[in-house]
Structure 1
Amino acid sequence: MLYEEKITSRWIPVLVILPVVLSLSIGFWATYQAGEGIEIPLAVGAFVVPLTIDISYMRIQIDDREIRIRGALGLIIRKTVKLEDIISFEVYSGWMSCSGFIHFNMPAKGCVVLNTKRWSISFSTNNPEEIAQVLATLGIPREASDL
């Protein structure tokens, strides 16, 4: 493993889980008052809570063969890019400064765009220059950017 970073956000779960918990509570109360079963609110909760956990955490791993971007559970955030498919990369300051065809965005110090043979993939990072050094060491050319 040449590089590994974990990025978390405390505000994403709060902003997503708070309305879900509120609506599930109302749903539980309404189904209890109506004398119905609580299967539907439980199913919604079982679906939404793992997705929320997945989007609140991102792990970036770089080794000598590929770059892996994963969420906590790997349900939504999940992408593996082989190094031989990367044409070039760009580094930007600010986590909202770059966009790719596939974009993994979370509050961080910077972001990296990987230009591949098919499309561009971008992701947020707290150590953009460290990732740039690792990618340059692996022989991937760097394009001009704002950092």
Structure 2
Amino acid sequence: MTVRTGRVELTAEAMELLRRLIAAHGPVMFHQSGGCCDGSAPMCYPRGEFRVGASDVLLGQVGGDTPFWMSGDQFRHWSHTHLTVDVVPGRGSGFSLEAPEGVRFLLRSRLLTDEELSRIESEPPLPTGADEIA
């Protein structure tokens, strides 16, 4: 199995929060939509309680085996970036599992390097929700 170029990771603070959320709720997943306001932040849901769409893209697994999905429209804008999930004080969406904790997940980004982009070009396309449905 080929190891893909990493496109998303967690800060230590986000990893610790993810561990607490998994302990409280079981396996979880992230989804990054392209909506306004809270929809522009990564949302954390109990796995199986959010259905990805056919055009959603699986960027990778974070914190071991937690899938990180992004809407296809959003991915077209962010495909040239590496994302880091961080945690900041404040109240995010009531739908994301971290909301009662008084913190919210936040994405930080950087451009992919020329080397990373070159490796990505040689890799198969990222899985989509259509692959999950099939």
Query: Whose radius of gyration is greater, 1 or 2?
Result: 1
- Fold agreement, TM-score > 0.5: no
Structure number with higher helix proportion: 1
TM-score, normalization: structure 1?
A: 0.26
For CA contacts below 8 A with separation 6 or more, give which structure has more relative contact order.
Answer: 2
